[in-house]
Structure 1
Amino acid sequence: MVTIYDIAKKANVSAMTVSRVINNTGRISEKTRSKVKRVMEELNYVPNHMARSLVLQQTNLLFLLITDITNPFYTTLSRGAEDAARKYGYRLLFGNSDETLEKEADYINTILATRVDGVLIAPTGDSSLPNLERLQSSSVPFVLLDREVPGMEADLVLGDSRDGARRLVEHLSDLGHRRIAMVNGVSTTSSARLRLQGYLDGMKLNDLPVHEGYMHESSFRPIDDYSHIEAWLDHMQPFPTAILAGNNVLAVETIRMLHKRGLRVPEDISVVGFDDLGPFSEVDPFLTVISQQAYQFGYTGTQMLIERIQSRDQPDPWKKIVLPSDLLVRRSVRDLRHQ
């Protein structure tokens, strides 16, 4: 195995000079730096990052733990996180919890064993508190993405879920809809709670009746059995003219269940939702949505995490960034104003 002493001998410099070139420290002339790098390439030298991390107590590794990699929102978020990490000289490891607390806990074990410098995490829900407390007690910096957890103070990057849901209801109301239902994520997830509150805000502000049977909980991620949504649709009386879906997964599944019943969107019933459908929405823009800045979630969160890592000795106050969203009006809502 090639060592820094082999490089120093061939480049006719000291081992300390080689070390400074590898770690990009100290004052070295550009001529010497180029010569050392050229010898490293000739000898196919690969730096031992593990040994370096033990000396510097830094691995330049970050970990991104999300809840559903198949969701276009999290796919785009991951792209933003990776781009920011590479820009600032870090490498990014990925994990996918599938909205499962046990799988999230397993990844926390991996994170602690890997000695990463920091973690970006979209928690599975309120029950993630013990997992986050393990990171905290191990002095691992982390930033929460998309969801907050009661009882945990930390840096946060969130979307404006409450206002987004209110705007969707307002859009439906402006087009003459009065019977508006909502299928949402579970109430143990902060983003689902805020979207439900936004739905209720919108209904109240637009003087619309709220029927308890019009509100239904499901999972934000794909699941094997959606029969509960089928049962919900079958038992709503009177049937709504529009349904607000808490995220893109629920929007797609709701439309699929409606089609199964011979109902067309928007001719028979309108559907709106949170988060876009990824590249498919560009091919045939159909669903009216609140579009969140998914890329910016990841990019901004990574910047915040690196700042937290670099100021660990003199920590700043916790930061909370709420990213605005856009209402994208498309073809999934029928205009009922003239009926």
Structure 2
Amino acid sequence: MVTIYDIAAKANVSAMTVSRVINNTGRISEKTKAKVKKVMEEMNYVPNQMARSLVLQQTRILFLLITDITNPFYTTLSRGAEDAATKNGYRLLFGNSDENLEKEAGYMNTILTTRVDGVLIAPTGDPSLPHLEQLRLHNIPFVLLDREVPGIECDIVLGDSKEGARQLVDQLASQGHQHIALVNGSSSVSSARMRRLGYEEALKLNGLPLHEERVFETSFGPRSDLTELDAWISSLDPMPSAIVAGNNVLAVEVIGLLRKRGLRIPDDISIVCFDDFGPYSEIDPFITVVAQQAYQFGYMGMQMLIDRIQNREDAGPWKKIVLPAELVVRSSVKRLLD
């Protein structure tokens, strides 16, 4: 194995000079840097990352923890985060909590023992607070994505969930729909709370009634057992003319259950949802959505994290970025007006 002493001997410099070139520290002339780097290339030298991390107190490794890798929103978000990390010279480790607090706790232990430089995390919900406090206790910088957690102040990138839900209800109301139901995520998740608030406000502004029995709360993530959701649909009497789904995973599950009942979309019932379907957006059933800037969530969140890591002493106040969503009208809504 080639060592820094081998490099130093061939370049006719000290081992300390080679170390400074590798770690980009100290004052070294550009001519000497170029000479050392050329010798490193000729000898196929690979730096010892563990030793380097001990010297610099940095691993150049970051961790991305999301809640549902099957959701196109999060896969696109992950691409943005990876691109930003790579651009800045960081490697990215990855975890998927499946909206499960215990699984999230397991990843927290991995994060603490791996000695990553920082964490980009979409928390499972409000109960994630102790996990975030653990990161802060161990002085690990983190940035939240998509969801706020009461009780913790930090950098965060959010979507405008309230306004997005209002746009969906407004679109339905503009087409004559007066009986609109909501299938949403858990109230322990901030984005779900804001989407319900936007739904309720839009009903009120459009002069439409709010019926509690037309609101169903569940997990945002996929599930194998749809018994409760199916039972809720069965309880709707009369059946609403339209359903707002809190995200695209819920929309797919609802559509599947409706089709099992022989209901056609949009002929028999209309459906709209939060989040687009990635590369599958143009394939039937052409759902009307509020599309979030998934790539920018990941890219901007990762850039905020790296800025916080590289400027620990002078990073300034916590930053909050709210990205607007875009209403994309397709053909999953039936027009009821003459």
Q: TM-score, normalised by structure 2?
A: 0.97
Contact 2:307 2:315 in 1 (8 A): no
**1:289 alignment partner AA:** V
Deviations along 1:20-41, one digit per CA (max 9) or x if unpaired, are 2212334545554343223223
1:89 is matched with 89
Q: How does 1:170-189 map to 2 (within 5 A)?
A: 170-189=170-189
Kindly indicate whether residue 259 of structure 2 is the aligned counterpart of residue 259 of structure 1. yes
Equivalent pairs counted in the alignment come to 338
Contact 1:230 1:257 in 2 (8 A): yes
Structure 1: which 5+ residue stretches go unaligned?
A: none
RMSD (Å) for aligned C-alpha atoms: 1.4
1:48 is matched with 48
Contact 1:275 1:290 in 2 (8 A): yes
Q: Decide which moves more: 46-55 or 305-314.
A: 305-314
**1:134 alignment partner AA:** Q
Q: Decide which moves more: 29-38 or 57-66.
A: 29-38
Shift of 1:108: 0.8
Kindly indicate whether residue 245 of structure 2 is the aligned counterpart of residue 249 of structure 1. no
Partner Cα separation in structure 2 for residue 231 and residue 102 of structure 1: 28
Deviations along 1:211-232, one digit per CA (max 9) or x if unpaired, are 1111001211111101111111
Shift of 1:131: 0.6
Partner Cα separation in structure 1 for residue 222 and residue 88 of structure 2: 34
User: CA, structure 1 residues 197+55, in 2 after alignment: closer, same or farther (shift >3 Å)?
Assistant: same
Shift of 1:44: 2.4
Partner Cα separation in structure 2 for residue 57 and residue 25 of structure 1: 13
Kindly indicate whether residue 327 of structure 2 is the aligned counterpart of residue 327 of structure 1. yes
Shift of 1:70: 1.1
Q: Decide which moves more: 225-234 or 35-44.
A: 35-44
Kindly indicate whether residue 87 of structure 2 is the aligned counterpart of residue 74 of structure 1. no
2:213 is matched with 213
Partner Cα separation in structure 1 for residue 283 and residue 36 of structure 2: 51
2:311 is matched with 311
Partner Cα separation in structure 1 for residue 202 and residue 287 of structure 2: 20
Shift of 1:14: 2.1
Q: What is the SS of the residue equivalent to 2:282?
A: helix
Q: TM-score, normalised by structure 1?
A: 0.96
Contact 1:285 1:330 in 2 (8 A): no
Shift of 1:307: 1.6
Partner Cα separation in structure 1 for residue 73 and residue 212 of structure 2: 29
Q: How does 1:1-339 map to 2 (within 5 A)?
A: 1-284=1-284, 286-338=286-338
Q: What is the SS of the residue equivalent to 1:69?
A: coil
Task: Give the percent of matched residue pairs that are identical in Structure 1 and Structure 2.
Answer: 71
**1:210 alignment partner AA:** L
Deviations along 1:257-280, one digit per CA (max 9) or x if unpaired, are 111000000011000000011111
Contact 1:183 1:246 in 2 (8 A): yes
Q: What is the SS of the residue equivalent to 2:94?
A: strand
Contact 1:77 1:297 in 2 (8 A): yes
Partner Cα separation in structure 1 for residue 280 and residue 314 of structure 2: 45
Structure 2: which 5+ residue stretches go unaligned?
A: none
Contact 2:65 2:97 in 1 (8 A): yes
Partner Cα separation in structure 1 for residue 282 and residue 259 of structure 2: 22
Contact 2:83 2:299 in 1 (8 A): yes
Partner Cα separation in structure 2 for residue 161 and residue 337 of structure 1: 28
Q: Decide which moves more: 215-224 or 29-38.
A: 29-38
Deviations along 1:89-131, one digit per CA (max 9) or x if unpaired, are 2111111111111111111111111111111110001100111
Shift of 1:285: 7.1
Q: What is the SS of the residue equivalent to 2:210?
A: coil
